[in-house]
Amino acid sequence: MAKTDLILIQNIVGLGGESDHVKVAAGYARNYLIPQGLAVPLTGANKKRIESLKKRRGEREAHEFSSMTELAKSISNLIAVIAVKTGEDGKMFGSVTSGMIADQLKTQFDIALEKRKIHLEHPLKTVGEHVVELRLHADVAATLKVRIESTTPIAAPAAVPAPAEGREDRPRTESRGHRRAEPAHAEEPAPVEVAETGGKKPRPSKGEKPEKPEKSERHEKGEGRGKRE
pLDDT bin (cut points 50, 70, 90) of residue 22 is very high
pLDDT of residue 49: 85
Q: Flag whether pLDDT at 3 surpasses 80.
A: yes
Q: Flag whether pLDDT at 21 surpasses 70.
A: yes
Q: Flag whether pLDDT at 147 surpasses 80.
A: yes
Residues of the chain with CATH 3.40.5.10: 3-48
Q: Flag whether pLDDT at 15 surpasses 70.
A: yes
Q: Flag whether pLDDT at 124 surpasses 60.
A: yes
Mind listing the pLDDT tens digit for each residue in 34-70? 999 999 998 888 888 888 899 999 999 899 999 999 9
Mind listing the pLDDT tens digit for each residue in 185-198? 545 555 555 444 44
The CATH class of 3-48 is alpha beta
Indicate the pairing of strand 21-25 with strand 3-8: antiparallel
CATH classification of 72-150 is 3.10.430.100, yes or no? yes
pLDDT bin (cut points 50, 70, 90) of residue 203 is low
- Residue among 74, 69, 71, 119 at smallest CA distance from 99: 119
Per-residue 3-state assignment (H helix, E strand, C coil) for the chain: CCEEEEEECCCECCCECCCCEEEEEHHHHHHHHCCCCCEEECCHHHHCCHHHHHHHHHHHHHHHHHHHHHHHHHHCCCEEEEEECECCCCCECCCECHHHHHHHHHHHHCCCCCHHHEECCCCECCCEEEEEEEEEECCEEEEEEEEEEECCCCCCCCCCCCCCCCCCCCCCCCCCCCCCCCCCCCCCCCCCCCCCCCCCCCCCCCCCCCCCCCHHHHHHHHHHHHHHC
Residues of the chain with CATH 3.10.430.100: 72-150
- For the beta carbon of residue 2, count every other beta carbon within 10 angstroms: 7
Q: In the beta sheet, which residues pair with residue 7?
A: 21, 40
